[in-house]
Amino acid sequence: MKRFSIATVSEVSHITPNMIRVTLLADMIKAFPAYCAGGHVKLVIPPINQDIKQFQKFLGGFNIRNQMRTYTIRHINMQSGEIDIDFVAHGDSGPASAWAMTAKRGDFIGISPPGGPKLKVSSSNQYLIAVDMTAFPAAAASVEKLPKDAQGDFYTEILSPDDIQPINAPSGIKLHWVLKDPSGANPSLIETVKALKLRGDESVFVAGEYTPIGELRTYFRSEKAYPKDQLYISSYWKQGLIESEHKRVKTLVA
Ligand SMILES: Cc1cc2nc3c(=O)[nH]c(=O)nc-3n(C[C@H](O)[C@H](O)[C@H](O)COP(=O)(O)OP(=O)(O)OC[C@H]3O[C@@H](n4cnc5c(N)ncnc54)[C@H](O)[C@@H]3O)c2cc1C
């Protein structure tokens, strides 16, 4: 089990209609690796009505799994000991989204040490990124660290036209926004990616909901025969399943 500390909320901002940025402050963050933006942490969401003393005890116990969720470090400020976490606000059916939607300065949450970023460095300096909003923070933070002369295309599926957000990408990385369209009238993220003329030497970063990501994994691995060391393809959540159930399904098909 990971070591958890308590972080407190120092700021909350609604960066787009469907994304909430929560800035977390903790001494532990000052010791995170400087390069960890784009990596992930485990958050433990406090059960409703627990005060900080009760939560401290809860964090040391064995019942935390149901409250534990995975989120990306979008930015880190090591001097102040703060990280930004960008939560997709998908309603109150899950503890993490529900917590973020009502988070305010002074609230607390459990936080683990980070795991590393995933974008594979490309020997050709060419990149193809295709993500939904849950994986946008990981992809954006990784792209912001690429060499200035990196080239490629970065596709993000958004829930509303107002979910477009600026990032500090190298000028050769073109940003594209694919509006999710339940009617099917506009091309989906999968259709958009499959219609691309691929070079073959790109480093590929694909992440988001389980079903489309599974389809794109098959596409890149089997149909296009990309070598594994050019691919980061990962399912970040599954419609209808909470995180621990999704993780179990992922392990079964891995
Ligand atoms: C490495 C990694 C990094 C991640 N980084 C981020 C991040 O930075 N920001 C972020 O928002 N997410 C991120 N995720 C995804 C996030 O962990 C899941 O969306 C998680 O399930 C949310 O927890 P919850 O408590 O809100 O919902 P859960 O309790 O896990 O699920 C409750 C219900 O909500 C549904 N649900 C879960 N997520 C979504 C969603 N996005 N849209 C619609 N329905 C949903 C589930 O299918 C389920 O029916 C990341 C996942 C991984 C593996």
Q: Is the CB of 99 under 6 A from ligand 1?
A: no
Q: Is the CB of 243 under 6 A from ligand 1?
A: yes
Contact between residue 161 and residue 242 where contact means Cβ atoms under 8 Å apart: no
Segment 21-28 shows an average pLDDT of 97
Q: Is the CB of 155 under 6 A from ligand 1?
A: no
What the block records as the tokens of 152 is 């490629």
* Residue 193 CA to ligand 1 centre (angstroms): 23
pLDDT at site 254: 56
Express each pLDDT in 170-218 by its tens digit. 999 999 999 999 888 889 999 999 999 999 999 999 999 999 999 999 9
Strand 173-179's sheet: what is its strand order? Answer: 173-179, 151-158, 126-131, 203-209, 231-237
Express each pLDDT in 26-52 by its tens digit. 999 999 999 999 999 999 999 999 999
- The letter for the amino acid at 222 is S
Query: According to DSSP H, which parts of 109-203 are helical?
Result: 136-143, 189-194
**Phi and psi for 23 in degrees, rounded to 5?**
-95, 125
Segment 6-18 shows an average pLDDT of 98
pLDDT at site 133: 98
Residue 208's nearest CA partner among 238, 179, 178 is: 238
Confidence (pTM): 0.97
- Domains of the chain and any CATH numbers: 5-111 (2.40.30.10), 126-253 (3.40.50.80)
pLDDT at site 120: 79
pLDDT at site 118: 73
pLDDT at 252 over 80: no
